[in-house]
Structures are given as C-alpha cells and as structure tokens.
Structure 1
C-alpha cells in the first residue's frame, strides 16, 4: 500500500514503548561519562553551536572517530549523545562530537557545510585515520561527507570508514511532512542534499546500519542508499541489526564490545 500518512511514516517515538525514558537517559549517561573524563572544546566557526566536544583516550591515540548526532536536524546536541564516545574511546580513539546550528536557524545545506568544517578542525587536532558515524539526521550528514565535493581531498583520504545508523538518505519524502515547516526544504535543496541522489566519493567505505524493528521508511532508506551506491561502484553494504528500534540501535556504539563499535573499527563485521 502506498504511504498516505507521511508524518507517521517518519515518527519514531510514537512507535517505541517508553520512548521518553530514552530521551531522559541519554543526557544522564553523558553526564555520567563526563564525571570521569572532561572533553575539550574546539571551535570551527563563530556561531553559538559551532563547536566540537573532543574526548581523548587515556591510552595512545589510534585515530579519530567523529560522531554526528540526530534529532531531525532540529534538536539535541553532544550534551545528549556524548555517551556514545565510550565505545571508541576504549579502543584508543579520540572522539569528536559535532555541535551544529539547528533548523530553522540553519537549512540542511548549511548544516552539511558546518559538519564538513567541524570534521576538518577535529582532524587538524588529531592525527591518524578518521572514521565517521552518525545517527538518524546524523546518519544523513555523515553520508553527505562521503559524497563527492564535500570534504577536501587530503581529509577524505584519511577517512577509512563511514557508518550511517538509521540515516535518512533521500530527503524528498520529508517535503510532505509537517516537520518541513521547520526544515524549510524545497524540492531543489531536497535533491541536492540527498546522498541517494548523489555520487559517492571514490575509495570511501560506507556501511548503512538500521535496526530490524525500526519504522519501514528507515529500513527502506538504509537499503536504498546501499543499493544505489553499490550500483555506482562504491564499497557499501547494508546491515540490519535484529530486535533493535530507532532509539536503542545506537547502544552498540556506547559499549567497547558493542556491535557498532566493532563494526566501525573493523573488529567484527556481521
């Protein structure tokens, strides 16, 4: 059956039991992590939200992991999702969490540019290989980084893996949702900012992850990007993690032995 309720198709909390508990737990888990490790603060622009929280491991740094938070480009910050640094930190990764200007104060194209600038600043501060991962809107933003013409060549050459978790890779359906009153997407921007409609950068590896219990649109969006980019010769694959929904799928990044942590760092590839 064709989709008739586009708002419901992209609604997550309404379909997750006890969804509010997750929204409360995330900042509490971040605060708990910060009792043991205080992130540094880097600035990549003059805007109030143009900053990066940079966590450094106690051991020798093995590389840089950049995490981009979700929230439909409209909410949240590293104060909510800093707990995701815990998994990569345990493996010697410096972890940068990007804070970006939210809609409606910034359009998605501007947010894409901010994230690219932030990754550049973080990569100047930390040497070695770079891995990128993001959740939901953050999944969209890291796959935008994997498109041609976004990251500068020298930086892109350092990126070893891009992992999009529950990403939205074709923005055109969002034109039919109420949230677009805030996002202010028009058809032209929706096309320009949709990774599934763009060309992937040569040589970048991309993994598209989604929970098996997520909304059908998020599963379709995940498989869509993998399908299209595979057809363009990219090294890309889709991974469905059974039993997980849109809010608990990211827990695998917060654990040193979590499936997302191992996948991101190539220690275990399901």
Structure 2
C-alpha cells in the first residue's frame, strides 16, 4: 500500500528545511523595509487573517498580480513571502499577497471563499489585467477560483489573463489518506468539490502548472493532471517541469525579473 504521508512530505526530503521558514521571514522583512508606498493589512473581510498586502509597481502599474501562499492550508501568512513580488513588480505590476484563515479554524471550502474575496478586493484597488499565482496549497486556491462555480463577479473574472499554479494541488482526494487530514478535516464530498481538476473551467484564460523536477513525484503528477484535464476543455494549459528544483526552491525565480517563471507569470512568455 502506498505511503501517502510520505508522498506529500516535502520537508522530510529536503535537507535543512527546518531552517527555511526563519530565512524566508527574514528575507521578506528586509525586502519590505526597502519598499516605498508599501500598503499592509488591507482588510478584505472581517476575520483576523482576512488581510492583504499591496506592493506597488515600479512605475505606472500595468495590472495586478495576486500571489497566494502555501503551507497545506495550515501554516504561514503573507508576511513570509513579500520578496517574491520583486520579479513582477520590476516589470510594472502591482502585487497583492493575501493571508487567509488556516485550518482547522476554517474549512478548505471557506478558504476558497476567502481568496475569492481577496482577489475581488485587490481588483477594486488596482485596474488592468489580473494574473493569478499560488504555491502548493496556494496553487489549489488560485485554480479553484477559475472553476465553473467561481464566485468572482464577471467584471473581475474577465480581467484574469493568466494563472500560474506552482507545485499546486488540484485533486485533493489523496489527502484524505494522510495524517494531515486530522487537521484539514476534509470529507470525500469536500475533497471532490474543492478539486479544480474535477471541475469544468469557467473560462478560457491560460493556465500553467509549474513544478520542480526534483519534487516529490506526487506533486509532478498533480501538476500534470491539471494541465492534462483542462486542455480538453479548450483552456490553453502548459506543464513546466523545472529541472533540479525542489518544492521550496521552485518559487525563488519569482524574485528575479529575468527568470523564466517571472516571464510566464506576467505573460511575457
């Protein structure tokens, strides 16, 4: 029988991963200190964690990038990832980073609704096209907003011109077999409803499933699944397996204005 806990255990297979959260937080704080006109803790709801940060573009804004963090819906917040905005910001995009209520205080379906509200709030503050990005659980959350039951208003949904799911989770049913579901509390009904790969897409804006070549095989499978399924519904989908990168290093390129992943995020590739 397959060990599903091991299939999703990223940290156990990356040496020194226990030190990474502190390093991420330190880098993000140093980056924020250098920003001008940084806007923190903009409310998109009444909950304590229903807040987003807005990183201004370098020059006149070309549009909005929304980046949703990962952590298996159980950990982290927006403050750990601010420096990932630099690639898009350098190219003239305003970047929003929302936090959201974590499980078990919220169900995953509740978090999906929160991210929908966060996108809507950010879109009300920044004009122009919208590009969505998310990492791991964040990849799930951004692709989930593109599904046939999306609650985004048409005026906002139609502004989405591309989505980048980085190491995203698109079929949540295998997670029912993991110990982490003791915290997630998913039923088969909710896992099915919350799986983007099991939905029809609402529109046809491009979707890229981006994953590190040195990640756990399950994450590569999840990315391949998303790209495979939605291409059958006339969505322009792409699978990118970035060689040599693991679940944590795969997002580093977002800090680099010249990286391939930044170009894909903002539609230059």
TM-score, normalization by structure 2: 0.96
From 8, 12, 16, the counterpart of 2:14: 16
SS of alignment partner, residue 91 of structure 2: coil
The separation in 1 between residues aligned to 2:30 and 2:86, in whole angstroms, is 11
Q: What is residue 195 of structure 2 aligned with on the other side? A: 194
Deviation (angstroms), 1:87: 1.0
1:153 CA drift (Å)? 1.2
Aligned equivalent of 2:226: 225
Q: Distance in 2 between matches of 1:232 and 1:267?
A: 24
2:98 equivalent in structure 1: 98
Q: Do the aligned partners of 1:54 and 1:96 also contact (CA within 8 Å) in 2? A: yes
Aligned to 1:249, what secondary structure does the other structure show? helix
The normalised TM-score by structure 1 is 0.96
Contact kept in structure 1, 2:135 and 2:166, CA below 8 Å:
yes
CA distance in 2, matches of 1:21, 1:41: 26
1:28-59 Cα offsets, whole Å, 9 max, x none, are 11011111113333111110000110111241
Give matches, 1:65-76, under 5 Å. Answer: 65-76=65-76
Runs of 4+ more than 2 Å apart: 38-41
Preserved CA contact (<8 Å) 1:251 1:258: no
- Structure 1 residue 81, shift from structure 2 partner: 1.0
Aligned residues: 266
Shift in Å at residue 266 of structure 1? 2.0
Residue number in structure 2 paired with 1:33: 31
Secondary structure of 1:240's partner?
strand
Deviation at 1:15, TM superposition (A): 0.4
Equivalent residue number for residue 257 of structure 1: 258
Per-residue CA distance 1:100-158 (angstroms, 9 max, x = gap): 00000000000000000010000000000000000000000010011123122111110
Q: For 1:105-254, list aligned pairs within 5 A.
A: 105-150=105-150, 151-254=152-255
Q: SS of the residue aligned with 1:207?
A: strand
Tell me the CA shift for residue 68 of structure 1: 0.1
CA RMSD of aligned residues (A): 1.0
Residue 58 of structure 2 contacts residue 93 of structure 2 at CA under 8 Å; is this kept in 1? no
**Does the CA-based 8 Å contact 1:68-1:141 persist in structure 2?**
yes
Counterparts of 1:17 and 1:141, CA distance in 2: 28
Query: Is the Cα–Cα contact under 8 Å of residues 44 and 50 in structure 2 kept in the other structure?
Result: yes
| 2:67 counterpart SS class | strand
Bigger shift: 21-30 or 91-100? 21-30
